């Protein structure tokens, strides 16, 4: 008789108190869909609503793993990008005309070959607001990508990749896994230096902290390489030459078709053929990846199922992206507040209600508790 904390899963043998988590690809589709929605608007109220929705879902569903702490790092990077965009607009000027002068900086004269560029001069409210809208859109996109990094396990995402992308996936997952260890090493060494009364800031502190961090990263890399080699990583199967050529032709042709179809959809004249070329290119690329997977000899142990929860998570993000794309086409003034003349942004009701679909995973998808304690 097995203990009450052990449950038998349909995809494998019994696992102690473990419930299958949401597929990591669903979290990435959800986050990328929110990022797509952020690119369709410059309304700061809608962008703030997207950031709030992603932050709430991350706060309720991220685990205690080291890679789940990357959301705050992406948030700080987003703030830095926003401030850099404002700084460039103030220092280098902006092509946006304006009549509301905030202040005037000393202007540096430039040679004739630098026409169109200025350093200093008048800083108008219109230019600052335009730069803030543009920087906030990019910052929201970075925060949405950070939500995917905080919610989706890199190791489980690697397990779900096609066999043709396995080597590239290993490299990406190793890089994403080592990044939190580097941050933890920096924090640990800085705390140790503070306890010893030594400086941990400035150029001297950075050099004395950076050297042990790099040494530890090198040791972990060598140990990981030896462990991967002993487990047979990098081993490939023999594939006939016609299959290799067919795989390369399908993959390359499919990617070119995806690029051509996307360009056709973005242009006014290519709307008739863009979707057809895009779908044909995507089908050819998927077929190439399928054939390329024959080189991989690995097997999948307890593959992550794409269940109803995964459809719910990815579908909620796709709904936000589709509805905001529709809103940007039907009511562009509401999603792109005017800068010249300068007007205050308003919150459009039905696009704001569409953004609320991003909160659906926080309430409809149960949090993954991880291993439970024996009862």
pLDDT of residue 194: 77
Q: Is the pLDDT reported for residue 5 higher than 60?
A: no
Q: Predicted confidence band at 19 (pLDDT cuts at 50, 70, 90)?
A: low
pLDDT of residue 315: 92
Query: What backbone torsions phi and psi does residue 268 show, to the nearest 5 degrees?
Result: -75, -35
Give mean pLDDT, residues 6-19. 40
Give the whole-number percent of the chain exceeding pLDDT 70. Answer: 79
Give dist(CA 9, CA 18) in Å, integer.
9
Q: What DSSP string runs through 323-353?
A: HHHHHHHH-HHHHS--TTTT------HHHHH
Give mean pLDDT, residues 234-255. 78
Give mean pLDDT, residues 220-225. 78
Give dist(CA 211, CA 224) in Å, integer.
20
Q: Is the pLDDT reported for residue 3 higher than 60?
A: no
Question: Comparing 282 with 110, which gets the higher pLDDT?
Answer: 282
Query: What backbone torsions phi and psi does residue 344 show, to the nearest 5 degrees?
Result: -80, 135
Question: Comparing 369 with 166, which gets the higher pLDDT?
Answer: 166
CB 16 within 8 A of CB 6: yes
> What pLDDT digit, counting tens, does each position of 107-126 carry?
777 776 766 677 777 888 88
Nearest to 321 by CA among 31, 36, 65, 18: 36
pTM (global) more than 0.75: no
CB 56 within 8 A of CB 113: no
Question: Comparing 17 with 225, which gets the higher pLDDT?
Answer: 225
Q: Predicted confidence band at 31 (pLDDT cuts at 50, 70, 90)?
A: very high
Give dist(CA 60, CA 37) in Å, integer.
22
pLDDT of residue 50: 94
**Coil vs helix vs strand at 260:** helix
pLDDT of residue 13: 38
Q: Is the pLDDT reported for residue 331 higher than 70?
A: yes
47-51, 166-170, 247-251, 347-351: least confident range: 166-170
Nearest to 296 by CA among 247, 233, 230: 233
pLDDT of residue 12: 43
pLDDT of residue 372: 42
Q: Predicted confidence band at 14 (pLDDT cuts at 50, 70, 90)?
A: very low
Q: What DSSP string runs through 87-132?
A: HHHHHH--SS--S-EEEEEEEEP--GGGTT--EEEEEEHHHHHHHH
Q: Predicted confidence band at 25 (pLDDT cuts at 50, 70, 90)?
A: confident
Q: What DSSP string runs through 188-231?
A: HHHHHHHHTT---SHHHHHHHHHHHHHHHHHHHHHHHHHHHHHT
Give mean pLDDT, residues 184-209. 75
Give mean pLDDT, residues 228-243. 72
Q: Is the pLDDT reported for residue 352 higher than 60?
A: yes
pLDDT of residue 202: 67
Cβ neighbors of 21 (< 8 A, separation 6 or more) are 153, 156, 304, 368
When computed from its CA atoms, the radius of gyration of the chain, rounded to whole angstroms, is 25
2-16, 92-106, 211-225, 256-270: least confident range: 2-16
Cβ neighbors of 29 (< 8 A, separation 6 or more) are 313, 314, 317, 318
Q: Is the pLDDT reported for residue 15 higher than 60?
A: no
Nearest to 304 by CA among 200, 153, 168: 153
Q: Predicted confidence band at 275 (pLDDT cuts at 50, 70, 90)?
A: confident
pLDDT of residue 11: 40
């Amino acid at each position: 008789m097995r203990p009450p904390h052990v449950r038998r899963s349909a995809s494998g043998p019994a696992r102690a108190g473990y419930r299958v988590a949401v597929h990591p690809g669903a979290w990435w589709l959800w986050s990328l869909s929110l990022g797509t929605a952020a690119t369709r608007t410059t309304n700061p109220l809608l962008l703030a609503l997207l950031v709030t929705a992603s932050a709430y879902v991350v706060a309720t569903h991220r685990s205690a793993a080291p890679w789940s702490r990357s959301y705050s790092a992406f948030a700080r990077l987003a703030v830095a990008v926003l401030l850099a965009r404002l700084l460039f607009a103030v220092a280098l000027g902006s092509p946006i005309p304006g009549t509301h002068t905030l202040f005037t900086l000393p202007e540096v004269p430039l040679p004739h070959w630098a026409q169109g560029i200025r350093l200093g001069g008048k800083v108008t409210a219109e230019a600052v607001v335009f730069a803030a809208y543009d920087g906030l859109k990019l910052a929201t996109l970075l925060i949405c990508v950070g939500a995917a990094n905080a919610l989706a396990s890199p190791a489980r995402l690697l397990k779900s990749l096609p066999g043709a992308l396995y080597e590239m996936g290993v490299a990406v997952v190793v890089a994403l896994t080592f990044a939190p260890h580097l941050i933890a090493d920096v924090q640990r060494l800085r705390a140790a230096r503070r306890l010893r009364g030594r400086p941990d800031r400035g150029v001297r502190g950075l050099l004395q902290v950076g050297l042990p961090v790099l040494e530890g990263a090198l040791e972990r890399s060598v140990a990981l390489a030896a462990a991967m080699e002993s487990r047979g990583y990098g081993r490939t199967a023999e594939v006939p030459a016609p299959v290799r050529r067919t795989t390369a032709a399908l993959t390359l042709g499919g990617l070119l078709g995806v690029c051509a179809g996307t360009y056709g959809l973005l242009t006014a004249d290519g709307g008739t053929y863009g979707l057809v070329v895009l779908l044909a290119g995507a089908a050819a690329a998927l077929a190439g990846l399928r054939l390329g997977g024959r080189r991989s000899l690995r097997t999948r142990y307890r593959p992550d199922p794409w269940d109803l929860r995964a459809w719910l998570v990815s579908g909620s993000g796709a709904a936000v992206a589709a509805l905001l794309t529709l809103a940007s086409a039907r009511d562009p003034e509401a999603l792109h507040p005017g800068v010249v003349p300068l007007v205050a942004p308003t919150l459009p009701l039905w696009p704001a209600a569409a953004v609320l679909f991003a909160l659906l995973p926080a309430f409809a998808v149960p949090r993954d508790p991880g291993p439970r304690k024996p009862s």
